[in-house]
Structure 1
Amino acid sequence: MPACNVIVLKGHPQERLKRLVRDCSETLARVIDAPLDRLEVWVTEVEPALWGLRGIPADEVLGTAARAELEMPFIRMVLLQGRPVEQHHRLIREMTDAVARVLEMKPDRIRLQIDEVHPDRWGIGGVPASVKRAAELAARAAQA
């Protein structure tokens, strides 16, 4: 169920963006102790003309300083409610570090938001997560 979207300024090499997907997926899975097949991570690129840097479209600013000093990647994560605050803090730290490492920039340029959603307000295949989770737990118990 966990979802993570990393929003960056368009123009990074595709191989770097693929590494970003891999590293963020691995970090998220490790920190929340979830299997990789349970989470989704994707990168969204924004056209420079549609991204404001210092109040000016990025396509007009990028030549004035190094990209890593101007760009401010935004990480938005959606998790089901109930995780401890310490886990949120660890996610903030480790996801920021992963993005900074891959994009070769200082962590203080990166922003991250965690949205918690109640399981009754998150759907998976048209079924509330609370219902789907209860069914999965019952199936596991029956197999045990």
Structure 2
Amino acid sequence: MPVANIHVLAGHPRPVLKQLLREASATFARVIEAPPDRLQVWITEVDPELYAIAGEPADEVLQHTPRAQAEIPLIRMALMEGRPVEMLHRVMAEMSAVVARNLGGDPQRVRVQIDHVNADRWAIGGVPASVARAAELATRRAAA
């Protein structure tokens, strides 16, 4: 269920964005202790003409300000409720560092939002996660 959407200004080279996807996915899975095949990470590119920086269109700002000093990437994550706050703080810090390192920016410019999702309000194949997870745990116990 864990998902992360990284919002950036359009214009980064594709190989950079692909590497960002790889590193962000690995970091996300490791820090929240989730199997990599259970999470998704994607990048949303925003048109610089439709993005304001200090009230000015980003395409105009980028004509006189380096991208790394202008862009403010946003990471939005959706996670099931119940993870320890220390884990949430760690994933915010590490994902910010990954984004900044890959895009050549400052981690202080990266913003992170975590949305908690109640297991009864998230479905997997139409089945509430609260039900799907209970069945999965029972299967694991039976196999042990």
Alignment TM class, shorter chain as reference: over 0.9
In 1, Cα distance between the equivalents of 2:48 and 2:125? 35
Segments of 5+ residues of structure 2 without an aligned counterpart are none
Matched ranges for 1:1-144 at <5 A:
1-144=1-144
In 1, Cα distance between the equivalents of 2:42 and 2:111? 16
In 2, Cα distance between the equivalents of 1:117 and 1:41? 17
Equivalent position amino acid for 1:98 in 2: V
Equivalent position amino acid for 1:121 in 2: R
In 1, Cα distance between the equivalents of 2:136 and 2:35? 15
In 1, Cα distance between the equivalents of 2:140 and 2:25? 25
Q: CA deviation at 1:64?
A: 1.1
What percentage of aligned pairs have identical amino acids? 59
Q: CA deviation at 1:135?
A: 1.0
Report Cα offsets for 1:53-112 as digits up to 9, x if no partner. Answer: 110111121111100000000000000000000001101110101101101111111000
In 2, Cα distance between the equivalents of 1:91 and 1:47? 27
Q: CA deviation at 1:139?
A: 1.3
User: More displaced, 59-68 or 2-11?
Assistant: 59-68
State the TM-score, normalized to the length of structure 1: 0.97
State the superposition RMSD in angstroms: 0.7
Equivalent position amino acid for 2:32 in 1: I
In 1, Cα distance between the equivalents of 2:123 and 2:51? 31
Q: CA deviation at 1:8?
A: 0.3
Q: Could you list the runs of 4 or more consecutive aligned residues of structure 1 that deviate by over 4 angstroms after TM superposition?
A: none
SS of the counterpart of 1:18?
helix
Segments of 5+ residues of structure 1 without an aligned counterpart are none
